[in-house]
Structure formats: C-alpha cells, structure tokens
C-alpha cells in the first residue's frame, strides 16, 4: 500500500509500505476513505519537532473496517468507522471519567501513519465508533473532521465552559480554532469572538457562529477583548495554538473566575506562576478526549445540523500529500483532505 512518510523538515513523500496486519486480537484494520493533514503535523514539517528518522505521518481517519481481531465484538468488517488519534479501552476509570486520551491502556493510533491506504487501530471496540450506515460521500469531510479537529475544538469549548449566556474568545484561527467557534455556538454561547487576521478564515469563523472578530494579537488583543467585555475579559477563552504568546493571550483575555480551555499542543511554554495565580482563571485542556464526544458529534453530522467539513479547503489524492503539507505550511490552505 501507499502512505505518507516524512524524511526531513519540508520533505514528505508517499512511499510504498507494508499493509498493516492484525497484531493484537483487539485490533481492527481499516481501509481509509479519507485522511488529512493536521496543524500538529506542521511542527515536524517545519522542523520544530526533530525528525530523526523517516516517520509515517497522519493520525486522522475514517474508513471501512476490513478485518478485526478475534476479541473484537462490537466492530465488524464492512462498517464505516471513525476513531481518535489515541486508542482507548473506553472502560477504565479514566475513560469512564471522560478522559479517553489518558486511558490507562492508550496507544497512539498515528504510530502506523493514517495518511495511508490502510491503518491498524488498536483496542477497536473501545476506540472506533460506527456510523448508522455507510455515509454518502458528501458527509465524509465532516465525519473526518470529527476524528480530531472537531473533537479537539469541541473539547476546548467544553474545557473553557462555553455555554448559554457566555462570551467566548478564541485564540487561533486554524481548523481547531474555527471548529471551537462552531462548538461554542452549538453549546449555546451568546457572543463568540475569534482573534484572526486572515480574511478567508474570518469568513468561515462568521459562518460557524462568530459574532465579532478581533484582529489584534498579544497585549493589544487582550486589551481589545477587555474593551468588548466591559473591561472584565471573556467568560471563556479557547486556546488553539500552543505557544507562549497564545497561552498568555488566552489567560490575559479571561475574566477572574473565567475558564481557559487550551488544546494547542504546548511547545516551549512556561506559565509564570504569579501571573496565573492573580489571574484567577480556571485552566484546563490537553490532548482532546475525542472519543467522549464522538457519538454526539457523529449524530449532529448525520442529521446535517453541523458542517465541520468546511474547514477542508483543499482536497488532493493521497499521492499528492507533499503539496497538501506545503499549502498548509504557506497558509494557502486551512486544512488538506487526502483521498487514498
């Protein structure tokens, strides 16, 4: 089969690789209907994460179950399934509390590289959620979004306590930030204020439910959010970048007693204790427990109540994965969908 492999920063190739096979009796093999490039893949592509040896890429996936291990009971060949980047047993105490991405048996599904024709998914019963039937083609981008970016934006909004009557600010206008807007809207937020300076993203932000847009960043961005919130700051702020600047912008934009939900993978971040202490914010986040939200998200998509697939503004054959990375790196595309 073919799959994308990164060899060095800026160097992604689609190689012929071994088709994955059942290793554990709880595994499933799925034939990919669609996969995509994640903002976090760009950390490797840009050389911010080291690339010591060739690494199979991708951790977002939807597809048809081809084969299951002998212990798999709820997932069957022929089903269309969606799973998250972390495999989880869905039964341990941590999963039961809703933190599947910290499951005591968690495994990184992306280890095998989801930007490929086939993928091995461990703990299939706990990890995969099947759709009511094989979806029509137009639903596939939205279902694929549920695999990571939608689930991650949703977790950001939940962690930030977005809800009825709340004013929600969003730091980061990538696919996760944009879908956090959609999530906040679905959760009933009253005002949703993304911080964005890119016109095409602002357009999508408004479509997803943004009520205002702040184009300033850093301290100026914080000042603008305070101006829009009676000097107090937003009730809820979703952080979807993962840098020192974005975290401080999020904390600074939140009113005392408010909530910061952070889902940008932290890179070289050190939070100053004293500033955090006096900010009085609630801080919660981390790798999104997407599995917690999948049934609800799939249902919303299936009923066509939400259309998160709109974040894919570039669709390419898997063979052209390299161009998909390049377009995102150069910010010509928000998010690239790849079809094997």
Q: Would you say 90 and 100 are in contact if contact means Cβ atoms under 8 Å apart?
A: yes
Question: With respect to its own copies, which residue has the nearer C-beta, 67 or 190?
Answer: 190
Which residues are within 8 A (CB) of 150 and not within 5 positions of it... i.e. 6 or more apart?
Answer: 142, 179, 182, 183, 297, 308
The alpha carbon of residue 323 and the mean position of all alpha carbons in its chain are separated, in whole angstroms, by 21
φ, ψ of residue 174 to 5 degrees: the values are -75, -175
Q: Which positions lie near its own copies, rule CB under 8 A?
A: 93-94, 97-99, 101-102, 104, 230-232, 242, 244, 247, 255-257, 262, 265-274, 276-287
Output the smallest distance, CB 269 to its own copies, in A. 3
- Give the whole-angstrom CA distance, residue 289 versus residue 284: 12
3 state DSSP class of 187: coil
Output the smallest distance, CB 53 to its own copies, in A. 22
Nearest residue to 146 via CA among 60, 28, 224, 265 = 60
Output the smallest distance, CB 328 to its own copies, in A. 22
Output the smallest distance, CB 242 to its own copies, in A. 8
Question: With respect to its own copies, which residue has the nearer C-beta, 79 or 101?
Answer: 101
Output the smallest distance, CB 79 to its own copies, in A. 29
- Give the whole-angstrom CA distance, residue 62 versus residue 339: 11
Question: With respect to its own copies, which residue has the nearer C-beta, 35 or 249?
Answer: 249
Question: With respect to its own copies, which residue has the nearer C-beta, 120 or 255?
Answer: 255
- Give the whole-angstrom CA distance, residue 80 versus residue 65: 6
- Give the whole-angstrom CA distance, residue 301 versus residue 319: 28
Output the smallest distance, CB 159 to its own copies, in A. 8
Output the smallest distance, CB 309 to its own copies, in A. 27
Q: Using the 8-state DSSP alphabet, how is residue 135 labeled? A: P
- Output Rg (C-alpha) for the chain, integer angstroms: 19
Output the smallest distance, CB 266 to its own copies, in A. 3
Q: Using the 8-state DSSP alphabet, how is residue 113 labeled? A: -
Question: With respect to its own copies, which residue has the nearer C-beta, 188 or 256?
Answer: 256
Question: With respect to its own copies, which residue has the nearer C-beta, 213 or 276?
Answer: 276
Question: With respect to its own copies, which residue has the nearer C-beta, 33 or 90?
Answer: 90
Question: With respect to its own copies, which residue has the nearer C-beta, 36 or 266?
Answer: 266
Which residues are within 8 A (CB) of 29 and not within 5 positions of it... i.e. 6 or more apart?
Answer: 20, 21, 22, 65, 66, 67, 68, 118, 119, 120, 121
Which residues are within 8 A (CB) of 272 and not within 5 positions of it... i.e. 6 or more apart?
Answer: none
Output the smallest distance, CB 270 to its own copies, in A. 4
- Give the whole-angstrom CA distance, residue 164 versus residue 271: 29
Strand bridging mode 80-82 / 61-68: antiparallel
Question: With respect to its own copies, which residue has the nearer C-beta, 77 or 286?
Answer: 286
């Amino acid at each position: 089969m073919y799959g994308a492999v990164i060899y060095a920063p800026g160097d992604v190739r689609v190689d012929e690789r071994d088709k994955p096979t059942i290793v554990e009796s709880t595994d499933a093999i799925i034939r990919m209907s669609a996969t995509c490039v994640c903002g976090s893949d760009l950390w490797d592509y840009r050389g911010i994460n080291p690339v010591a040896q060739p690494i199979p890429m991708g951790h977002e996936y939807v597809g048809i179950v081809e084969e299951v291990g002998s212990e798999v009971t709820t997932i069957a060949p022929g089903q269309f399934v969606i799973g998250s980047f972390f495999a989880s047993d869905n039964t341990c105490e941590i999963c039961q509390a809703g933190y599947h991405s910290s499951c005591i048996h968690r495994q990184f599904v992306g280890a095998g590289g989801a930007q490929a024709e086939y993928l091995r998914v461990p703990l299939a019963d706990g990890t995969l959620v099947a759709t009511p039937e094989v979806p029509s083609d137009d639903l596939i981008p939205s279902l694929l979004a549920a695999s990571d970016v939608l689930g991650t934006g949703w977790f950001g909004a939940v962690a930030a306590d977005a809800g009825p009557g709340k004013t929600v600010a969003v730091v980061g206008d990538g696919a996760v930030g944009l879908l956090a807007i959609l999530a906040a809207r679905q959760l009933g937020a009253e005002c949703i204020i993304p911080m964005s300076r890119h016109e095409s993203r602002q357009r999508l932000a408004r479509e997803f439910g943004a009520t205002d847009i702040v184009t300033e960043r850093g301290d100026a961005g914080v000042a603008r959010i305070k101006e829009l919130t009676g000097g107090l700051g937003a009730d809820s702020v979703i952080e979807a970048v993962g840098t020192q600047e974005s975290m401080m912008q999020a904390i600074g934009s939140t009113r005392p007693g408010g909530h910061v939900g952070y889902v940008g993978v932290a890179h070289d971040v050190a939070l100053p204790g004293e500033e955090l202490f006096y900010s009085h914010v609630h801080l919660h986040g981390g790798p999104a427990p997407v599995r917690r939200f999948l049934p609800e998200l799939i249902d919303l998509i299936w009923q066509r109540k939400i259309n998160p697939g709109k974040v894919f503004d570039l669709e390419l054959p898997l063979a052209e994965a390299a161009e998909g990375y390049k377009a995102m790196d150069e910010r010509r595309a928000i998010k690239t969908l790849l079809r094997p």
